[in-house]
Amino acid sequence: MPGARFDHESVYELLLQDRWPELLELVHRHRDSVDADPLLSYAVRVSVDTFFQRLEVTGPAAVKQELETLFLLHAGGYHGLDDEHFETVVEELVRLHDDRPSAAVGYARHCPENAVCTDVLNRTTSAQRSSCGSA
């Protein structure tokens, strides 16, 4: 993004326009800038908090890609989420991938203490035990 501006004002502008994919992409590309600039870091935190407030209204299906991006940013060390937000991301991704058990289990392993994750992990373990007995 040569010549593109990435500062706290541009973060708030993207936030106000609900342009989540672009905002998260900028956070990914400019991690060092976010870490080094307190105003930018604060703007990103406000954006993430706002995302989770809106998640309660829109529901996870409307922001599935953004949830996956937040998961990758956190897991990849590009933007750490607090424990509560990370658990919310994982829980919603587990629910959204209920039709794909291997993906749901992959996410569930990140928060095995969460009730939704525990249920998925237990169902998978039970199914594996059942299939071993029928061989």
| pLDDT at residue 128, rounded to an integer | 61
Average pLDDT over the chain reads 89
The pLDDT assigned to 127 comes to: 62
pLDDT band of 21, cuts 50, 70, 90: very high
Could you tell me the pLDDT band of residue 125, with boundaries at 50, 70 and 90? confident
pLDDT over 70 at 9, yes or no: yes
Q: pTM to 2 decimals?
A: 0.86
At 27-59, the pLDDT tens digits run 999 988 998 999 999 999 999 999 999 999 999
Q: Which three-class secondary structure string do you get for the chain?
A: CCCCCCCHHHHHHHHHCCCHHHHHHHHHHCHHHHHHCHHHHHHHHHHHHHHHHHHHHHCHHHHHHHHHHHHHHHHCCCCCCCHHHHHHHHHHHHHHCCCCHHHHHHHHCCCCCCHHHHHHHHHHHHHHHHHHHCC
What average pLDDT does the segment 8-33 reach?
93
